Chain A
Amino acid sequence: MIDHDVLTRVLGAAVRGGAEFAEVFAEDKRSTSAGLDDGRIEQVTSGRDRGAGIRVVKGDTTGFAHTADLSEAGLCVAAESAAAAASQGGGGTRVIELTRRAATDVNRVARYPDDVPKAEKVELLRRIDEAARAAGASIVQVSAGYGDSRRRILVANTDGVLAEDEQVRGLVRMSVVANGDAGMQTGFQSAGQTVGFEMFDTVDVEELARDAARQAITKLSARPAPSGSLPVVIKRGSGGVLFHEACGHGLEADLVAKGASVYRGKAGELVASPLVTLVDDGTMSTEWGAIGIDDEGHPSQYNVLIEEGVLTDYMWDYLRARKEGRRQSGNGRRQSYMHLPMVRMTNTYVLNGTEQPDDIVRATDHGVYVAKLGGGSVNTATGDFVFGMTEAYLIEHGEITEPLREGNLVGNGPQVLRDIDLLGNDFAMGNPGTCGKDGQGVPVGDGQPTLRVKAMTIGGTAT
């Protein structure tokens, strides 16, 4: 993307004012998206974003500037403005030797999205529309989206790091509305992978559409969710987002360092039920949060965060790792070249336990079975979180019975981790997600086996 010698000179210009560290992050991203709504392909969109962000660190201050001009002159202007932002003095020159670093080999792309005819992409949406509408007479509306991207990144810094990666992703998502006597209900499904268009050889979009339709139809006869504190069983692959929110964010080293995490100072302590081992894994082939390198040039890693209930480590980016004198963990990510990197998750999941999932339901006399969790948010300083339940059922006398209408699950992260009392052996990854932090969104995955939390607050409307 940028010539080796140009990078060396630009980095030299960036540290001429006496800064300790400078970095060039260049990105070239092409994307295609298409939307279907109300039976129509509304629009196909093509996008191109290309540019570089230059970061200069002096003392505890980071200066940052970005440019869409990848010429040497354009890069030098950005480098000088980042340097000026970081410092007001100093001097001297540095010789920078760039050494190419290998990326983690996470996956191979067979069909690049740019090589796939747009008609073939749009056809996926038509198949989703047809399958969902054929699922029942009560289906009144279907909307679906397709998206792909090919993102090439290059990172070079004054520590000598030179690394490149190509991240190819594909995604479909759909929302289906059913109409009944008691109003309308919706069902959702999605699939996303870090791989080429060959993902649709194995992802059955019709099956996803039928599942979204089934959710909407089932909810037509749903009763209001209960309110109050109850045992909650979470189906495999549908509750990983709870761990992402409830403890993942609290294990990000930047939040820990500022004392904005309930997990500050807890390394080596028992913070969860001994059943729980929690991992963040950027190397997970084709999963939505998989990366070869992070956005600071560090190869992605498999990081154990909690082992049998004991907090083993936090997640790290360059700045926090440097400050604490330790290694990065491959968690420095950013939305685009226009953003500063920070500590972010990749694929975050709970490893298998030993229970049969059916036994977990059977062991629950009265509770709620969550088959799909919606979005959520967490206050990392208190651990308090909120999630929408988009598909849930009542458990009565050890059996899944009636469907429930939507409601929120409210709880406290550290408490929920301690309250997991049954863990299944049926691990699955969940739907692709976009994690938002400080206004930046990055693709993340999550997963977990079927499990039970002995008590959570359910905010339903039943009285």
Chain B
Amino acid sequence: MSEMQAIADAVIAQARPGEQVEAFVSRDSETDIRVYEGEIEHFVSARSEGIGIRIIRDGRTGFAYAGTLDQQAVADVLAEARDNVEFGTPDEWAGLAEPDGVDVVAQELWSATLAEYSTDRKIELTKELERLTLAADGRVRIDDANYSDVASESAVATTTGIRRSGRENGCYVSASTLADDGDETQTGFGFSVGRSPDDFDLAKAAREAADRATRLLGATKPASKRLTVVLDPFVTAQFLGVISGTLNGEAVIKGRSLFRDRVGEAVASPQFTLVDDPTNPLAYTATELDGEGLAARRNVLIDGGTLLGFVHSSYSARRANTVSTANAVRGGFRGTPGVGCLALQLTPGARLQAELVADIDDGVLVQSVSGMHSGVNSISGDFSTGASGLLITDGQLGAPVREFTIASTLPRHDHERRLTRRASPTSSTNERFGHRTATEPE
């Protein structure tokens, strides 16, 4: 039994009659390396651990955490959580998850290669990425090149019978770039993610970091108009993050989603199929368990444009009179689980990006967006985001444009399905970008 599991078990053994108790324990170690001009700018080696304890009694919830596993601190956290129960409003749906019999789809979440990777080679990789990026284009400067890895082990135990532990690790490299042309400067970035450094494609990360910075040199600000928009996969992933907020079961039961009364209706183009599938090993955020310790599973949310349902934790499911889709999301020991998608994927269509572009007389290929967090209202559906990209004229990619906005309204009425219609037909590019969103606890 893991040390983490033993600590969690010991806490729930102290539950008093009438109490549901959950203990979540974790320990992380991470390495961060930043290289600048061939030298190490910083090297961070960090280890952190902690415990979060949730207690529910008579429908009231209390929670407390501490960033240590010191025995006395754990006892204090239990006492604080118990004290905090007094102040919650009774909620008939409050409760912990219960085992639901769904089997775990095993994932390779631990890489022995990464665990044994030497520090010197990590430093060398980071320097190599900086060199490759600089070599990719003479106009490019480096802001910084980074290597980062994290290994974490965690355990959860509840008085309702959930008892799980596991460990996972992962790593990435990234480069931030600047490109100059006369007085003008533009920025870019490139990255590569892997279970171990052996998965890195440094050349591709370097090329993207250089391309992203240089492609906007000489960009102008376009005039405002209605036109067809093609979203790069990286941008689409950011839009999916926004859409995932509207498919969140907790937002739905609290009346905060524009999709709340639309299950079974056509809400998007027939080509639009959206699946949350953390059991897909190709997803960077693939996982075995959700934040409450239930087996992660594949959930189809929009199928051929028809809204099939929402993602739920055990709480939102109980309140919506359904079952958990194993979409509880936990940010760590400092909070209780919220609800969110774990690995959202838009199913690819049949055509390449170039084929989509070739059909467009007057449009824009959006390569980056900014201000998504401030410019989207998932309740009203209005969105507006800063963007940059390339103009499309008569089927050809043309001049770079920046400092413009793309704005519309997410589907609310049948005649107003702008975003999802515009985003289709979906391109067949099949790159995956990690995506997790959650309703954070206060």
B170 shortest CB reach to chain A, Å? 16
Asked whether any CB of chain A lies closer than 8 Å to the CB of B265, the reply is no
Q: When chains A and B are docked, how far (Å) is the Cα of A34 from the Cα of B45?
A: 33
Residues A62 and B187 in contact in the complex (CB < 8 Å), given A43-B442, A177-B379, A461-B384: no
Do B370 and A377 touch (CB < 8 A)?
yes
Q: Does A35 contact B (CB under 8 A)?
A: yes
Closest-CB distance, A382 to chain B (whole angstroms): 6
> Which among A35, A258, A340, A385 has the highest number of chain B CB atoms within 10 Å?
A258
Partner of A45, one of B65, B379, B408: B65
B428 at the A/B interface (Cβ < 8 Å)?
no
Contact A140–B61 (Cβ < 8 Å): no
Q: Is the CB of B41 within 8 A of A68?
A: no
The residue that B255 contacts in the complex, of A63, A85, A141, with Cβ under 8 A, is A141
Q: Which of B61-111 contact A (CB under 8 A)?
A: 61-68, 70, 73, 76-77, 80-81, 83-84, 86-89, 91
- B39-56 vs A, CB cutoff 8 Å, 1 = contact: the mask equals 111111111110000000
Chain A residues 76-115 with CB under 8 Å of chain B are 81-82, 85-86
With both chains docked as a complex, state the minimum distance between the C-beta of A339 and any C-beta of chain B, in angstroms. Answer: 9
Contact bitstring B211-239, A, C-beta under 8 A = 1, else 0: 00000000001001010000000000000
Q: A86–B386 contact, CB under 8 A?
A: no
In the assembly, what is the distance between CA of A145 and CA of B442, in Å? Answer: 6
Task: Tell whether, in the assembled complex, residue B186 and residue A185 are in contact, meaning their CB atoms are under 8 Å apart.
Answer: no
**Stretch of A46-54, A150-158, A446-454 with 4 or more beta carbons under 8 angstroms from chain B:** A46-54
Is A379 at the interface (CB under 8 A from chain B)? yes
Which of A294-302, A356-364, A407-415 lies on the face that meets chain B? A407-415
Does A149 belong to the interface (CB within 8 Å)? no
Is the CB–CB distance between B84 and A382 below 8 Å? no
**Contact yes or no, A377 B442, CB < 8 A:** no
Interface contact A44-B84, CB-CB below 8 Å = yes
Q: Given the complex of chains A and B, what is the CA–CA distance between A314 and B326 in angstroms?
A: 49
Report A2 CB to chain B, min CB distance, Å.
16
Among the interface residues B41, B83, B334, B380, which one has the most CB atoms of the partner chain A within 10 A?
B380
Residues of B within 8 A of A185 (CB): 379-380
Q: Is B152 an interface residue (CB 8 A)?
A: no
Instruction: Take A42-B442, A406-B382 as given contacts and tell me if A61 and B68 are in contact as well, using a CB distance cutoff of 8 Å.
Output: no
Q: Cβ of A64 < 8 Å from any Cβ of B?
A: yes
Q: A40-B91, A410-B405, A459-B405 are in contact. Are A51 and B178 (CB under 8 A)?
A: no
Task: Write the chain B residue with the least CB distance to A229.
Answer: B224
| Residue contact A43 to B44, C-beta cutoff 8 Å | no
Quick check: B412 and A183 within 8 Å, CB to CB? yes
Q: For the complex, is A384 an interface residue (Cβ under 8 Å from B)?
A: yes
Task: Give Cα A65–Cα B44 distance, bound, in whole angstroms.
Answer: 6
Task: Known A44-B88, A47-B65, A461-B382; judge A147-B442 contact (CB<8 A).
Answer: yes
A324 at interface, CB cutoff 8 A: no
Interface of A is mostly: strand
**B185 near A62 (CB under 8 angstroms)?**
no
- Residue A131 CB within 8 A of the other chain: no
Which residues of B have CB within 8 Å of A262? 185
State which residues 145-196 of B face A: CB under 8 Å: 178, 185-187
Q: Which of B66, B178, B254, B382 has the most CB of A within 10 A?
A: B382
Contact (Cβ within 8 A) A258 B374: no
B382 touches A405 (CB 8 A): yes
Within 8 A of A (CB), among B362-404: 370-371, 373-375, 377, 379-382, 384-386, 402-404
- Distance in angstroms between the alpha carbons of A408 and B384 in the assembled complex: 5
With the chains together, A65 CA to B36 CA distance in Å? 20
Measured CB to CB, the nearest residue on chain B to A374 is B374
Question: A86: which B residues are within 8 A, CB to CB?
Answer: 43
Can you name the residue of chain B whose Cβ is closest to the Cβ of A415?
Answer: B403
**CB within 8 Å: A-B pair count:** 243
B67 touching A386, Cβ below 8 Å: no
* CB <8 Å contact, B386 and A40: no
Residues of B within 8 A of A260 (CB): 143, 178, 187
Nearest-Cβ distance from residue A174 to partner chain B, whole angstroms: 11
- B73 to chain A: which residues have CB within 8 Å? 48
Tell whether B441 is near chain A: CB-to-CB under 8 Å.
Answer: yes
In the complex, B141 has a CB within 8 A of chain A: yes
B306 contacts partner chain A, Cβ-Cβ < 8 Å: no
* Measured CA separation A223–B373 after assembly (Å): 22
Q: Does A9 contact B (CB under 8 A)?
A: no
Contact, CB under 8 Å: A68 / B68: yes
Tell me whether B409 is interfacial, beta carbon within 8 Å.
yes
Answer whether residue A338 sits at the interface, using C-beta atoms and an 8 A cutoff: yes
Cβ-defined partner of B256 (8 Å) among A141, A384, A461: A141
CB atoms of A184 and B380 under 8 A apart: yes
The CA of A47 and the CA of B441, in the complex, are separated in Å by 13
B210 interface residue per 8 A CB criterion = no
Closest to A186 in B: B379
- Do residues A386 and B81 form an inter-chain contact, with CB atoms below 8 A? no
Determine the distance from Cα of A172 to Cα of B70 in the docked complex, in whole angstroms.
32
Docked Cα-Cα span, A44 to B61, in Å, equals: 8
Q: How many whole Å from B27's CB to the nearest CB in chain A?
A: 11
Q: List the B side residues contacting A410 at CB < 8 Å.
A: 371, 386, 403-405
Does the CB pair B381–A338 fall under 8 Å? Answer: no
Among B39, B42, B255, max chain A CB count under 10 A is at: B42
Interfacial chain B residues near A221, Cβ < 8 Å: none
A457 contacts partner chain B, Cβ-Cβ < 8 Å: yes
* Interface assignment of A259: CB less than 8 Å from any CB of chain B: yes
Cβ B46 vs Cβ A122 within 8 A: no
A373 closest partner in B (C-beta): B374
Instruction: Contact check, B186 vs A381: say whether CB atoms are below 8 A apart.
Output: yes
B334 proximity list for chain A (CB < 8 A): 47
A258 to B178, CA, bound (A): 10
Residue of A nearest to B213 (CB): A381
Contact of B381 (CB < 8 Å), options: A122, A183, A407:
A183
Q: Is A327 an interface residue (CB 8 A)?
A: no
Q: Evaluate contact between B384 and A140: CB separation under 8 angstroms.
A: no
Query: What 5 A-B pairs have minimum CB-CB distances, sorted nearest first?
Result: A459-B405, A35-B442, A386-B371, A388-B374, A386-B386
List 20 extra interface pairs beyond A179-B255, A386-B405, CB under 8 A: A35-B441, A42-B89, A42-B91, A43-B63, A48-B65, A48-B77, A49-B67, A64-B42, A65-B45, A66-B46, A140-B255, A177-B256, A186-B380, A260-B143, A379-B370, A384-B403, A386-B374, A405-B380, A407-B384, A408-B384
- In the assembled complex, 7 residue pairs joining A and B whose CB atoms fall closer than 8 Å, in A order, are A40-B89, A61-B39, A63-B43, A119-B87, A177-B379, A385-B386, A461-B407
